[in-house]
Amino acid sequence: MLDLTIFLNAFTSLFVIIDPIGGAMIFHGLVGNKSITHRRAMAIKTAIISTVLLILFGKYGEALLTTLGISIHAFGVSGGILLFYTAFHMITKQSEESVESTVDDISVYPMSIPMIAGPGTLTLVILLNSKAQSFTDSISIVAAILAMMLITFLLMLFSKFIKDVIGKTGDDLIQRFLGVLLAALAIQFIHDGLKNF
| Each residue's pLDDT tens digit, 142-152 | 999 999 999 99
The pLDDT score that the predictor gives to residue 95 is 47
Q: How confident is the model at residue 3 (pLDDT cuts 50, 70, 90)?
A: very high
The pLDDT score that the predictor gives to residue 167 is 65
Mean pLDDT score across all residues of the chain: 84
Q: Could you tell me how many residues make up the chain?
A: 197
Give the residue among 173, 139, 191 at the shortest CA–CA distance from 2. Answer: 139
In the predicted structure, residue 75 carries a pLDDT above the cut 80:
no
Domain extent listing, the chain:
4-195
Q: How confident is the model at residue 26 (pLDDT cuts 50, 70, 90)?
A: confident
Q: What is the mean pLDDT of residues 51-75?
A: 88
- pLDDT tens digit sequence for 158-190: 988 877 776 667 767 767 877 787 788 778 878
- 93, amino acid identity: K
- pLDDT tens digit sequence for 85-139: 777 877 887 544 444 435 579 999 889 988 899 877 888 898 888 888 899 999 9
Q: What is the mean pLDDT of residues 19-25?
A: 82
> Between the CA of residue 193 and those of 1, 70, 160, 188, what are the distances in Å?
37, 12, 35, 8
The pLDDT score that the predictor gives to residue 140 is 96
The Cα–Cα gap between 1 and 9 comes to: 16
- Number of Cα atoms under 13 Å in the Cβ half of residue 62: 10
